[in-house]
Amino acid sequence: MDTRGCAWLLLLLSLPQGQSHQPLHRSKRRWVLTTLELQEEDPGPFPKLVGELFNNMSNNVSLIYLIRGPGVDEFPEIGLFSIEDHQSGKIYVHRPVDREVTPSFMVHFDAVDRSTGKVVDESLIFNIRIRDVNDHAPQFPEKEFNISVKESQAAGQPIFQLLTVDLDQENTPNSQVLYFLVSQTPLLRESGFRIDLISGEVRLSGCLHYETAPLFTLIVRASDCGEPSLTSTATIHVSVEDSNNHMPTFMEDRYEIRISEGQVEQGVLYLPVQDGDSPFTPAWRTQFNIWDGNEEGHFDIVTDPETNQGLLSIIKPLDYESQVAHSLVVVVENQEQLFVCTEGQLQPLRKAMASTMVSVQVLDTNDPPAFHPQSFIVSEEDGAWPAIQLGYFNATDPDRADSQIRYKLVHDPENWVTVDEKSGVVTTKKQIDRESPHVNDSFYTIIVHAVDNGLPPLTGTGTLMLFLSDVNDNAPTLRPHSRHLEVCESAGSQPLLIEAEDADLDPYADPFTFDLDNAQGDVEETWMLRTKQGEGHSAELTMLRSVPPGDYLVPLFIADRQGLAQKQTVHVRICSCRSGSECEEPSDTWLLWWALSPVGAALMVLSAALLCLLRCSCTFGPKRLRGFIPSDSGHQTLIVYNEESKVPSAQVYLDRMVPRQQPLQLLEGRVVEAWSQKLQSIDVLEGDTGYLPHVYREEGECEGAETLSSLTFLEQDLSPKLLGCSGSKSTPSEAMCFTSRVPS
């Protein structure tokens, strides 16, 4: 067994300097040493013997002892320890040691053969302990503390805890601290403090009274248990926060006020109170409530934040006729709960609020008339005629039963009814129309005022809601977007959607029935109309044969569910679509430029004059008519007609008859030539009375020349049927209509 690995340490108490000591010897042990321990802050003198060690191999070998490590040649304290001349194991310390800086030192010892310089045994590592002494007093983190405590704080509850720090060795009497209350200012019998000896918690030992002592000063001492004991002190300033230990009270036990009926008024009564707590604190702030007498919700009470008094208000008008007086019980309490302290203990308080009585007298005033009922509904059929009694308004004066009430109509936007001033009877004076813009969802509103004879006169308002039941008084009509349709020439067979609408309600509206007007020429040969199934308000218009581009009229009838129908006309424009699926817009710039030119203006004036002359000649003219234009409808829908007068549209007729591609000069020349031929064919014999007037046609039969449009044509643009009216195609100017004075 390796003897170097079997070294054992023997710890011995160090002896005071000057006393001898002998180490214990055991077999197989080669290192023998005394336990090394130093007293903190040892005053010396220095160097001072700490202890001694030796190796039992020194019996055979001359040894030198070496020492190294912290306190010798390493931090934290270099040169603190040394060995005497390296020839013995005596260890010395050279200065005082602070345990709070370095509580111990780990030192290495070596034994070296004096002759060879070799280490003869394993190094010895041992701990030099620093024995603590009570050299630090407990320290408070602050010298003074400021805390606040509610006046309502219960006794025995901790309000603050003191903590101290002692730098002496932990878990020793030197660092164990005890706390003591040295003094209390002011010192009161029922208001006291105490401090826990071990924990340092400060507690109340009675009740606080803000009004008696709002501030306390406590001096506390902390002492350790060392020998000798060290102490320190701190000061605690305790501020007492006022709490609610005073109940608010009213200045008076009863209040009386007078209020006129029908008014809403704020702050009709101020209710001052007294409170002994600190102003503007929750203990002083008041809360008011109406405990009794406000079942109808006429009154309300709030707290004035500045004066702390109650403000009573009328939030719902009082009615003298219903109740002439009101008795209110008003109570007041603080925002913070009330408490009392009895014999140093907080006690619950049963009665925490004060009360007062408020008597309210209601004064009679003139009330407006009241309608019975204020609003009612009357049903009448749409289209009702005058002199029908719809109902009557009934109003009474709540002040007097014998009051005279006048009724006045104030809202009747269509002026349909009258209201009798005395009886309130409502009677129609005009026919009623449910389609009026003032009828909303079949209801028409009539408003009437009732005025009493009080001073001053007051007015009540009543409403009659007239419900108009629908009748079938409107035939279906085309919707605006279905009156003018466009279709490309290449897609002529594509169905066109037609939609209709009816101002009547069900069952006098859709589903609609769509039919072509067969009396209009060859409409059935050109068009087909089919009602869309399942919708009831639309149909599809389809072209049966190809027609050239132009504007066409398609007459049709639309009937509602009850069979009420009227004639409608769809304007269909067939156009060229070179760029796609939309019609190209025609350019009317040339026409506008022509109309604004001087020549165009002159021609327009001349045309208007000739038109008047021709119309007169058609009825009373003396010349013989060489030809006439028969009253034939011609090719159906080639011309757009005005639906009321059936007069051809000049603009459309010009569009169809005048080629727009011709230059302006050519156009003006052809128009002048045409008018010259027309003027030459008119032979008016001024002053010739040799023949008596003879009527050949009744007024209105001459349809060939009723508008300017029929005069503005060119020869090559006239149809063969129209030219046949004169008997010869070579004289189109003779196609104008006159009444001959010679019977044919």
Tens digits of residue pLDDT in 295-349: 999 999 999 999 999 999 999 999 888 899 999 999 999 988 888 887 767 776 7
Asked whether 126 and 152 are in contact (CB, 8 A), the reply is no
| Residue bearing the bigger pLDDT, 117 or 639 | 117
What does the pLDDT average to over 622-644?
36
Asked whether 115 and 208 are in contact (CB, 8 A), the reply is no
Distance in angstroms (rounded) separating the CA atoms of residues 200 and 581: 99
Domains within the chain, CATH numbers bracketed? 35-131 (2.60.40.60), 144-241 (2.60.40.60), 249-363 (2.60.40.60), 370-469 (2.60.40.60), 477-575 (2.60.40.60)
Q: What is the dihedral of CA 589, 590, 596, 601, to 10 degrees?
A: -150
Q: What is the pLDDT of residues 473-495, one digit of tens each?
A: 788 999 999 999 988 888 767 88
Tokens 């004076």: give the residue: 429
What does the pLDDT average to over 665-687?
48
What pLDDT is attached to residue 6? 24
What does the pLDDT average to over 658-667?
40
Tokens 């109650």: give the residue: 310
What does the pLDDT average to over 627-652?
37
What pLDDT is attached to residue 69? 81
Q: What is the pLDDT of residues 552-576, one digit of tens each?
A: 899 999 998 888 888 999 999 988 8
What does the pLDDT average to over 17-38?
50
What does the pLDDT average to over 59-71?
77
What pLDDT is attached to residue 34? 55
pLDDT at 499 over 60: yes
Proportion of the chain above pLDDT 70, given as a percent: 71
**Which uninterrupted H or E stretch holds 270?**
strand 265-271
What pLDDT is attached to residue 624? 34
Q: Confidence band (pLDDT; 50, 70, 90) for 269?
A: very high
Range list of β-strands (E), 373-420: 375-381, 389-392, 395-396, 406-411, 417-419
| Residue bearing the bigger pLDDT, 591 or 262 | 262
Please tell me which of 277-291, 329-343, 466-480, 576-590 the model is most confident about, judged by mean pLDDT.
Answer: 277-291
**584 by DSSP, 3-state: which?**
coil
Distance in angstroms (rounded) separating the CA atoms of residues 464 and 409: 11
What pLDDT is attached to residue 474? 82
- How many helices and strands, by DSSP H and E, does the chain display? 6, 43
Tokens for 598, please give them: 């001087």
pLDDT at 710 over 90: no
| Residue bearing the bigger pLDDT, 464 or 546 | 464
| Residue bearing the bigger pLDDT, 62 or 453 | 453
Average pLDDT, the chain: 75
Q: Confidence band (pLDDT; 50, 70, 90) for 733?
A: very low
pLDDT at 655 over 80: no
Distance in angstroms (rounded) separating the CA atoms of residues 565 and 555: 13
Distance in angstroms (rounded) separating the CA atoms of residues 515 and 567: 10
Distance in angstroms (rounded) separating the CA atoms of residues 174 and 229: 8
What does the pLDDT average to over 20-40?
54
How far does Cα 634 stand from its chain's mean position?
67
Asked whether 590 and 708 are in contact (CB, 8 A), the reply is no
pLDDT at 729 over 50: no
For residue 432, the one-letter residue type is I
Angle at 77 between CA 72 and CA 79, to 5 degrees: 40
Distance in angstroms (rounded) separating the CA atoms of residues 198 and 441: 88
pLDDT at 216 over 90: yes
pLDDT at 422 over 70: yes
What does the pLDDT average to over 362-372?
88
